[in-house]
Amino acid sequence: MEQKILIKNIKELAFIQEEEDKRSRLSGSEMNECSSIKNAWLAIENDLIVGYGTMKDWEGIADWTNLKIIDARDKIVLPAFCDSHSHIVYAGNREGEWVDRLKGLSYEEIANNGGGIINSALKLREASEDELYDQAFLRAKEVISTGTGALEIKSGYGLSVESELKMLRVIKRLKENTDLTIKSTLLAAHAVPSEFKDNKAGYIDLIINEIIPQVAKEGLADYIDVFCEKGYFDNDDTRRILKAGAAHGMASKFHVNQFTISGGIQVGIDENARSVDHLEVLADEEITALNGVSTIATLLPSCSFFLEIPYSPARKMMDEGLSIALATDFNPGSTPSGNMPFVMSLACVKMKMKPNEAFNASLRNGAYAMDLSETHGAIALGKKANLIITKAIPSYSYIPYSFGSNHIESVILNGKVQF
């Protein structure tokens, strides 16, 4: 059935991408821009934004019948967030490991004792596809409630042909059964599973010769990912796996420079990765190398918060002209949270991003990091009607400022009111 919605009396319609603005992402000082209209209206037809303007010039859309009208007096309308890095498909939680960290153990020590990713892999292998789906579905609903409209989701807790496929099928079901726009990523190279403990080369062969071809055959992944890190996969492993993914039509976006500077960023640039993610540690020459390339830097400040590791040098990166995306990294080990407003608060307070920069990193640049620039991340004619309607708040900057509170009244995805 045709669906038409008019949102009227909007206090401020913000993060508009004007028709002449063709930039798929914003870089450096551009990240501080925000085009907005005060006292605005916005019209939705089916799943798309079909009009917007100021109430002053409102002429009505004469032929609209069966119109649902939402009065947004005192409220702000924004694009829904584009969270380009998450691991929301997992079984159980790891709060015991968190308590161990509070007592003084490090993330690395816990992983070396069989905890960490391997712990989640054990739990995931025991869970049925339906159990996994039910848990992930609740997390999908949760991220919608905090304003996320587009989400990248990774595999990576299966670490075998069968269990990686199980995770990716769950992601496919989330695509079918929620109004989130979802991109899926194969992260078989997240850790070396116990059965290959002394045979990493054997596991990499399995990834390249079996997992990637099978996943590609079933069309289950848009991207290929690798945890490029000391003790996990080195630069040569990473390059091989990214190339194998590319040969099967998967673009790359991958974990690098979370704990150590490995040179993996250059691998990403060479392999034309869509994004390099984490970058809690970053060398000056890597900042220079990232300038002007198509690969975007995706930063995950709520991972720094939870693991108490350094925050990425976002201010310096933007001052050098780089383009930055922000994402949650929602996962059971390093970031058990999928809350983009909290990510923006951390980005501002801990990385000295300005509110406009944090929003653009979570909107247009997040869309870019998932190849969704044409359809998501901005208010524009013809873009998806993926919107946040706030409660009555003084300004959109109030969202990252007043951290820990929920300022979202309603979310519309694909033109459908979610709540």
Q: Which residues bind Fe ion (CB under 5 A)?
A: 329
User: Would you count residue 312 as binding ligand NIG (CB under 6 A)?
Assistant: no
Q: Residue 74: in which H helix or E strand, if any?
A: none
Please report, for residues 38, 295, 369, the alpha-carbon distance to residue 324 in angstroms, rounded to integers and kept in the order given.
27, 10, 9
Q: Can residue 360 be called a binding residue for ligand NIG (CB under 6 A)?
A: no
136 makes contact with ligand NIG (CB under 6 A): no
Using an 8 Å Cβ cutoff, are 225 and 156 in contact? Answer: yes
Residue 323 or 331 with smaller CB distance to ligand NIG:
331
Counting residues that bind ligand NIG (by CB under 6 A) gives 12
The CA-based dihedral angle spanning residues 89, 95, 97, 99, taken in that order and rounded to the nearest 10 degrees: 160
Strand partners, 318: none
Nearer to ligand NIG, 73 or 230 (CB): 230
Residue 301 and residue 276 in contact, taking contact as beta carbons nearer than 8 Å: no
Closest separation between CB of residue 388 and ligand NIG, Å?
25
10: helix, strand or coil: strand
333 is a site residue for ligand NIG (CB under 6 A) = yes
The helix/strand/coil state of 215 is helix
Question: What residues between 38 and 67 interact with ligand NIG by CB under 6 A?
Answer: none
Q: Quick one: what does residue 407 bind among Fe ion, ligand NIG, none, with the CB cut-off 5 to 8 Å set by partner type?
A: none
Phi–psi pair at 289, nearest 5 degrees: -65, -30
Closest distance of CB 303 from ligand NIG, Å: 5
Q: Which stretch binds ligand NIG (CB under 6 A): 142-150, 196-204, 284-292, 328-336?
A: 328-336
- The answer to whether 332 contacts ligand NIG (rule: CB under 6 A) is yes
The sign of the dihedral angle between the CA atoms of 80, 84, 87, 89 is: positive
Applying CB under 6 A, among 24, 84, 120, 362 the residue interacting with ligand NIG is 120
At 15, is the secondary structure helix, strand, or coil?
coil
Please pick, from the candidates 165, 244, 303, 314, the single residue that binds ligand NIG as defined by CB under 6 A. 303
CA distance 224 to 233: 14
Rank residues 166 and 383 by Cβ distance to ligand NIG and give the closer one: 166
Binding segment toward ligand NIG, per CB under 6 A, in 112-120, 241-249, 291-299, 372-380: 112-120
Please select the residue that binds ligand NIG; options are 79, 116, 245, 366, rule is CB under 6 A: 116
- Token pair of 284 as six digits: 């000056």
- As measured in angstroms, the least distance from the Cβ of 156 to ligand NIG is 7
Does position 227 interact with ligand NIG (CB under 6 A)? The reply is: yes
**CB-side exposure of 320: number of CA atoms within 13 Å?**
18
Q: Does 258 bind ligand NIG (CB under 6 A)?
A: yes
- Our CB check for ligand NIG shows the closer of 271 and 329 to be 329
Which of the choices ligand NIG, Fe ion, none does residue 355 contact, using the CB cut-off of 5 to 8 A by kind? Answer: none
Piece of the chain touching ligand NIG by CB under 6 A; list 5-13, 46-54, 326-334, 389-397: 326-334
Contact 225, 254 (CB under 8 A): yes
9: CB partners within 8 A, 6+ apart: 39, 41, 55, 71, 72, 73
Mode of pairing for the β-strands spanning 408-413 and 416-417: antiparallel
- Where in 144-286 does DSSP place strands (E)? 148-154, 181-189, 223-228, 251-256, 275-278
| Only segment of 34-42, 115-123, 200-208, 382-390 that touches ligand NIG (CB under 6 A) | 115-123
- Comparing CB distances to Fe ion, the nearer of 271 and 329 is 329
Nearest C-alpha neighbor of 153 from the set 232, 252, 83: 83
Question: For ligand NIG, which residue has the nearest CB?
Answer: 333
Task: Note the residues at the interface with ligand NIG (CB under 6 A).
Answer: 116-117, 120, 227, 255, 258, 303, 329, 331-334
